Structure 1
């Protein structure tokens, strides 16, 4: 058999592909909703990349209350670094949208482009990962977390009472997962 050449699609997945087969049970309204959500996710990915590049280049956007503009301009103003991986183990790590640490002050900002309300716990996990990776005790620093979404900024200053329990869970759950992985390979 001479197969048609589709090498340009290698490693990609079609929206109506076999690996995400649930669409065969959708009606027209559900497939339209699913595709609109998919497009929003793709747009969010592109906006994050655009924001990271703007921040890395120090290129401010026009002053505005718009989510993206506020996020980029604040990150540049606070000398933040975009897209920093915070790593505890192969089982627990994440990428902070922007982060800065100086003079015992940790600042982490997150850009949310979707309509689903954000949860500050995500940033608390980044705080915990930072503390674990860099050997910093939450009680010894000040923290400011910001979520930028829907042309608004949500600011929280967590304390060690917020972050220490997350650190404990990361350590405990990482140990459990590591032991389970070792048992699976034995």
Structure 2
């Protein structure tokens, strides 16, 4: 058999692909809704890449309360680094949209481009991962976390009482997963 050459599609997935077979059960409206959601996610990915490039180049956007502009300009103003991976183990790591650690203050900012309400717990996990990776006791530093979404900024200042339990849960659950990978079946 001489197969047609589709090498340009290697690693890609079609929206109506076999691995996402649930569309077989959709009506036209459900398909349209799913496709629009897919398009929004793709736009969000591109906006994150654009924002990271602006921050890296220290290229501010016009001053505005618009989500993207405020996020980029604040990250530049606070001398933050974009898209930083925070790593504890193969089982637990994540990428902070923008992060800086100066004068014992850890800043973590997150850009949300979708309509689904954001949750600050995500940023608290990043804070815990930072403390674990860089061996910093949460009691010894201050935190500021920000979510930029829907032309608004949500700011919180978690404390060690917020971060310590997350660190403990990460350690506990990482061990459970490691044991499961080794074939251990006992989970308390």
Q: TM-score under structure 1 normalisation?
A: 0.98
Deviations 1:127-159 (A, max 9, x none): 000000001111110000000000000000000
Task: Please name the residue that 1:63 is paired with.
Answer: 63
Query: CA RMSD of the aligned region, Å?
Result: 0.7
Distance 1:111 1:61 in 2: 15
Distance 1:7 1:84 in 2: 32
Q: Say whether residues 1:103 and 2:97 are aligned partners.
A: no
Moved over 4 A (4+): none
Task: Please name the residue that 1:32 is paired with.
Answer: 32
Task: Please name the residue that 2:126 is paired with.
Answer: 126
Q: Does the residue aligned with 1:54 lie in a helix, a strand or coil?
A: helix
Task: Please name the residue that 2:73 is paired with.
Answer: 73
Q: Say whether residues 1:15 and 2:15 are aligned partners.
A: yes
| Alpha-carbon distance, 1:182 to partner | 1.1
| Alpha-carbon distance, 1:4 to partner | 1.6
| Alpha-carbon distance, 1:2 to partner | 2.0
| Alpha-carbon distance, 1:23 to partner | 0.2
Task: Please name the residue that 1:4 is paired with.
Answer: 4
Deviations 1:40-96 (A, max 9, x none): 000000000000000000000000000000000000000000000000000000000
Q: TM-score under structure 2 normalisation?
A: 0.97
Distance 1:2 1:143 in 2: 60
Distance 1:101 1:135 in 2: 13
Distance 1:68 1:166 in 2: 29
1:27-176 residue pairs with structure 2 within 5 A?
27-176=27-176
| Alpha-carbon distance, 1:183 to partner | 1.4
Distance 1:17 1:74 in 2: 40
| Alpha-carbon distance, 1:6 to partner | 1.2
Consecutive unaligned residues of structure 1, counting only runs of 5 or more, are none
Consecutive unaligned residues of structure 2, counting only runs of 5 or more, are none
Q: Does the residue aligned with 2:13 lie in a helix, a strand or coil?
A: coil
Distance 1:142 1:106 in 2: 6
Distance 2:87 2:3 in 1: 44
